[in-house]
Amino acid sequence: MVSQFPSSLYLPFQESSSELAQYVRLFRAFQQAIIKGNLAPGAKLPASRALCAELGISRNTVKTAYEMLHAEGYVETRHGAGSFVATNLPLDTVGQKEDQAQSQTQNPPKLSAMAQTLVGVRKPNQMKKGELLLPAQPCINSFPWSQWQRAVAGAGRQMKYQQNSVMGNNQLREQIASYLRVVRGVKCSADQVMICSGSQQAMFLALKLLVNAGEPVITEDPGYQGIDGAIAAVGATKIPAQVDEQGIQLEDGLEKAPDARVVMLTPSRNHPLGHTLSLDRRLHVLQWAKRTGSWLIEDDYDSEFRFEQQPLTSLQGLGGQDVVIYTGTFSRILHPGIRLGYMVLPELLLEPANRAKTYMEGEHRFFHNLRWRNSWATVILPVMCDGCANSTTNVGKLCTV
C-alpha cells in the first residue's frame, strides 16, 4: 500500500522541475531516497498500480522509472513479489538518515599542490563589464557581423567535405603563415603554424614543452599577468626582469636566475607600459638564446596597432626561427569571445607539440577552423588592414597586405 510510505518521500517528485519528464522526476525521487537512507535496503517499493493512482500519473511512467532504478542497480525484482531496494548496496552509502550522515565528520577530497597553486593565482583583467578603455577589448559595435554569419553558414555546409588535423585547418594555417611573412616578417611555413584557442593556450603548451617543474622562467616586470597562471600550471618559478624605455633588461633576470633557459617577452609592446624592445636588446637576447641553447617565447601583443609607422619585424624574423616560439591572437582586434590564436614553432618542436596537443584535446575544433578559414578575407583582413574596401572601421595603420 502506498500509505506505508511517508508523503515526504514523494516531495522531490512533486517539487522538481516540470521541464523534466515525469518518469525522470520519479526515478530521481526514489534514487535520492535510497541514497539518503530514507528507503532502507530490502524495503519493498509500492506496486505500480497503487503508485500511479496515488500520484496521478500513468502506469507506464511508474514502470519506466522502476526499470531505470533496476538498470542502475538501486532495486531488485523478485518474481511474483514486486520490486525491493537492493540489499547489496554499500552500507556507508545508504542506510543512514540524512541528518545522521551530516553529523559524521567526512574527509573532503584532496586537491593536488598544482590545483591549490592555481587557485591562488590572480585572474587577469578582473574589471567590471561596461567600463571604457578595457585592455584586450576591441570595438564590438564595428565587428562585421553579416560577413561573420555568412562564414559560419558556409563552414556548416563544408564540414562533411573537409578533414582536420591537430595543428588546425591547413588552409587557415596557410593564410596565417602568409599574413605573418608579409606583415610581421616571420620566417615560417604553414607546417609550423599551430592553431590554438588563444595566446594563453599557446603559451601554456610552449611552457609544458620547454620547462620542468621548479625551473625558472624570466618574464617582464611589469608584464601581462595572464602568464602567471600558465607558469604556475607547469610548476615553474617566475623570475621578474625589470622593463625600462628600451624593453626588458635580460641581465636583471639572469642575475636572479643564472640557470634560466626560457624567457617570455613582448617585444612589440610591453603591457602595461607600452615600451618597444630596442633593436640592440632584440639582437642581444637572440644572441644569448643561441649561445646558451635557450628558448624565447615571443607574445606578439598589440603588434597590429601601429598608428605612425609600419609594424616592426618580429623577434622570430630577425634570425630567431630556431629559438623563438612566436605566439599571437586575433581576439584582441576582433572580439573577446572569439578564441582564435596561433603559435609558430621551430622545426625541433613540431613533433613534440603535435603529440602534446593531441593528448590535450585531440584534433582542433573542426567547425571553428572552417569558420575562420571562410572569414579570413571578409572579416579578419578588413579589420586588420587599413584602407581595405570591405573594412567597417579604421583601427589605425595596421598592416599592408
Residue 401 has pLDDT above 60, yes or no: no
pLDDT of residue 375: 52
Query: Rounded to whole angstroms, how far apart are CA atoms 334 and 216?
Result: 34
More confident residue, 225 or 307: 225
Q: What is the grid cell recorded at 217? A: 622562467
Question: Which of 388, 386, 387, 334 minimizes the C-alpha distance to 142?
Answer: 334
Q: How many Å apart are CA 236 and CA 234, to the nearest integer?
A: 6
Q: Does pLDDT of 205 surpass 90?
A: yes
Q: What is the pLDDT of residue 400?
A: 36
pLDDT at 386: 44
Q: What is the pLDDT of residues 316-346, one digit of tens each?
A: 999 999 999 999 888 777 777 777 889 999 9
Per-residue pLDDT at 241: 97
Q: Which residues pair with 76 in a beta bridge?
A: 84
Reported as a pLDDT band with limits 50, 70 and 90, residue 171 is: confident
Domains in the chain with CATH codes: 2-100 (1.10.10.10), 167-366 (3.40.640.10)
Rounded CA-CA distance 184/200 in Å is 20
pLDDT bin (cut points 50, 70, 90) of residue 96 is low
As a whole number, the mean pLDDT across the chain is 80
What stretches of 5-144 show up as alpha helix (H) in DSSP?
A: 11-15, 22-35, 48-55, 59-71, 98-103, 113-119
- Average pLDDT over every residue of 259-280: 92
What pLDDT shows up at residue 3?
A: 46
Gap between the Cα atoms of 222 and 216, Å rounded: 17
pLDDT category of residue 1 using cuts at 50, 70 and 90: very low
Q: Quick one: how far is CA 378 from the chain centroid?
A: 26
Diameter of the chain measured on Cα atoms: 90
Which grid coordinates belong to 31?
Answer: 534514487
pLDDT score of 155 more than 70: no
What's the rounded Cα separation, in Å, for the pair 57 and 25? 12
Is the previous residue joined to 272 through a cis bond, with omega within 30 degrees of 0? Answer: yes
Q: State the CB neighbour count (10 A cutoff) for residue 345.
A: 26
Length of the chain in residues, anyone?
Answer: 401
Interatomic CA distance for residues 327 and 166, integer angstroms: 17
